Amino acid sequence: MREKGNILDAPYKRVERREVAVVGGGIVGVSAAYAAAVRGEGKVRVSLYEASEVGHTGAASADLNRVFRFLSGPDPTLTVWSGEARDLWVALGREWGSPVFHQTGLALLVERGDGVETTGGHVYPYDSAASWLEDALRCMDEHGAPYQRVSPAELVERYPQFRGAALNEAVIDPQAGYVEASRAVAATLDLGLKAGVEYHPGVEITSVESVGDGCRLLAADGREMRADAVVVAVNGWTEGLLPQLKGALTLTEQPLIYLRPPEDSSILMPGNLPMYISLTSDCYGFPIVGGELKIADDNAFRTIGHPDERQDPPREHLERVVSTVGKFLPSVAGAVVERTHTCFYDRSKDGRFLLDALDGEARIIYGCGMSGRAFKFGPVLGERLARFAVEGERPSDIKEFRAR
């Protein structure tokens, strides 16, 4: 039984387009396909095209976990979406029979300045963590989202894993946690298939254009398909498929580091250790999940022209991130790197999502510019893009994410 009381339970008010194609099988694409099938209640035929296969490790959505937080910054829409996304993740887990969202809380840390490289990735486009935090907390207040602003001593009393002397202050976001990313993508696809999504793996779409009262899609194998509307959710591959968006995105390498947990690791387990993000160094990490302790630096490592250009991170980068995190979380200092994976961000110019239509008729809808922040909102973004495509009318809360 599907969970009642979330937006996916409401059928579309108006079904203007009966054939919707979704291109890209990452979290945004599978969520769009799932939403269109469920809310279309059999009246909308949904085809999902994925160049490789859903869950492949080259996509940004494939990983152990992704941070989910309410404290997302000063944008009120994102705070509202956090609540909706949390409900959708919980409902998805219930329906799938196994949870994908785990509430651990999050400690947002402000480090002492000495020797800490301040780079500002999390607070972009602000130029200081302090001003970002003031506006982000005001936003939390306005939406009644709980948080606690604590001194280093108060943080350490609650979480003795952290080293108070390295910190100036911390904010605890108690409703935050992590989403098991690859499992969440698999769950969404499974439920989408049950709801009637027609899934086409191994189909690379090479062009999408609006023709008459619909769209034509061409595939690399020469096939031609048609749909009444298309949702394009191909992340760093967007400019190749939609050349109209050339210059809108910058791709950056983002290495992830998986550490071998130390011998006595109970204090690093979910339930004991919260998620953590340093607003000062932009390094962040997770409690132990799947036997691995994941840490990363949110700053751009290197700009690339295409997702295929990604390379393994050099040893110096790994050492720097381990040592930076180790300053405030001593269990990490000196930990052994088990493996790494280089993912990528599709950054928009101002770090905000691009959710728009390419044409005046709203036949070709796209979502990109996710700037390393989209996973947590996956079910919400998918629902909005799907609704835009099916109803042909822009949902009011994505107006501010138009191409700029």
Please report, as ranges, the residues that interact with ligand FAD according to CB under 6 A.
23-29, 49-52, 56, 59-61, 66-67, 204-205, 233-235, 237, 241, 254, 256, 296, 343-345, 370, 372-376
Spatial separation of the C-alpha atoms in residues 135 and 78, rounded to whole Å: 13
Minimum separation from the CB atom of position 365 to ligand FAD (A): 13
And the tokens for 360? 């005046």
Cβ-based nearer residue to ligand FAD, 25 or 121? 25
Min dist. Cβ of residue 131 to ligand FAD (A): 22
**Minimum CB distance to ligand FAD smaller for 15 or for 383:** 383
Question: Least distance (Å) from ligand FAD to the CB of residue 225?
Answer: 12
Residue with smaller CB distance to ligand FAD, 152 or 177: 177
Contacts of 280 (CB under 8 A, 6+ apart): 109, 110, 111, 113, 116, 118, 129
Please provide residue 387's backbone torsions phi and psi, each rounded to the nearest 5 degrees.
-65, -40
Nearer of residues 29 and 326 to ligand FAD, judged by Cβ: 29
* Bridge partners, 388 (sequence order): none
Query: Shortest distance, CB of residue 353 to ligand FAD, whole angstroms?
Result: 9
With CA atoms as reference, report the closest residue to 48 among 227, 207, 214.
227
The Cβ of residue 26 has, within 10 Å, a number of other Cβ atoms equal to: 27
State in angstroms the smallest separation of the CB of 400 from ligand FAD. Answer: 18
84: Cα within 13 Å, side-chain hemisphere: 19
From the CB of 60, what's the least distance to ligand FAD, in Å? 4
Token look-up 């990313």 returns 181
Query: Least distance (Å) from ligand FAD to the CB of residue 342?
Result: 8
Report in angstroms the alpha-carbon separations of 321 from 119, 141, 178, 293.
Answer: 13, 33, 20, 13
339 CB neighbour count, 10 Å cutoff: 10
Instruction: Enter the tokens of residue 384.
Output: 């909005």
Pick the closer one to ligand FAD by CB: 195 or 217. Answer: 217
User: Nearer to ligand FAD by C-beta: 101 or 164?
Assistant: 101
Q: Residue 2 Cβ, how far from ligand FAD at the closest point, in Å?
A: 22
Q: How far is the CB of 205 from ligand FAD (least distance, A)?
A: 4
**In this complex, which beta carbon is closest to ligand FAD, that of residue 52 or of residue 250?**
52
In the complex with ligand FAD, the residue whose CB is nearer, 164 or 280, is 280
Helix axes 378-391, 27-40, angle to 10 degrees: 50
Query: Of 129 and 241, which has the nearer Cβ to ligand FAD?
Result: 241
Q: What are phi and psi of 139, to 5 degrees?
A: -65, -40
Are the beta carbons of 26 and 52 closer than 8 angstroms? Answer: no
224 burial via Cβ count (<10 Å: 0-12, 13-18, 19+): exposed
Give 135's contacts (C-beta < 8 A, 6+ positions apart): 73, 74, 126
Measured from each CB, the residue nearest to ligand FAD is 26
